[in-house]
Amino acid sequence: MFQPLKYRRILLKLSGEQLAGQKGFGIDPAVITKLVEQIKDVHELGVQMGIVIGGGNIFRGVQAGAQGLDRASGDYMGMLATAMNALALQDVLEQHGVDTRVMSAIEMREIAEPYIRRRAIRHLEKGRVVIFACGTGNPYFTTDTAASLRAMEINAEVLLKGTKVNGVYDSDPVKNKDARQYEELTFMDVLKDGLAVMDSAAISLCMDNNLPIIVFNISEDKGLRKVVTGKKIGTVVKAEQGRR
């Protein structure tokens, strides 16, 4: 049955840790396959999709200091981890018949296209899923910030953050069974209360450009489809109204 789309061009942000599943490290084939099935389902609806994926299942730049490494060097290592995840996601997507391109903020022509904004938009217009690797290409910036930046550059209508929980809560729902989920928040609510949505640079960028964020559980059955077709799911972060 045909379902009208609320969003026709989206940026999906995924954490690297999600690919690890219960293993906590590396890539779980069952997890990435389920993720790809959701992406394919939405792609077949005609949604143009860019994806930014983290590298925390392999290496996190913030770990560098604890290990005695320079932070900038650690961040570059983390960027390479995102490239590994992007290539893995591309491979499984193409095994499922989804035309995909990986574009990297750090040049590595043998395995990915260099990131060029106009070329990325052209890929989207041709119906290809575009995976953006290596964050912004600069140390000290997270993949959250990269997701916000790429969303602006490709003129996405919404930034979707797929997580392991159902939305944004007033406390950690894993540790507190009485944690309350928010249906809606403003950007200022998130910044003022330090809510764990995305880092402050990413939130500020979305706020300045009035780009809504939806935080939802990517593991929910057809969760991604529900978001793009306008179903009530997760937590919406936007400019208007207050918290609910």
pLDDT tens-digit readout, 159-168: 999 998 899 9
Please tell me what DSSP assigns to residue 22: G
pLDDT at 34: 95
Pairing of strands 100-104, 129-133: parallel
Query: Each residue of 128-147: pLDDT tens digit?
Result: 999 999 999 999 999 999 99
H helix runs in 24-180, sequence order = 29-43, 63-66, 71-95, 117-125, 143-153
pLDDT at 69: 85
Query: Each residue of 77-89: pLDDT tens digit?
Result: 999 999 999 999 9
Q: Which domains does the chain have, with CATH numbers?
A: 9-238 (3.40.1160.10)
User: Which element (helix H / strand E) includes 205?
Assistant: helix 200-208
Angle at 52 between CA 88 and CA 8, to 5 degrees: 110
pLDDT at 105: 97
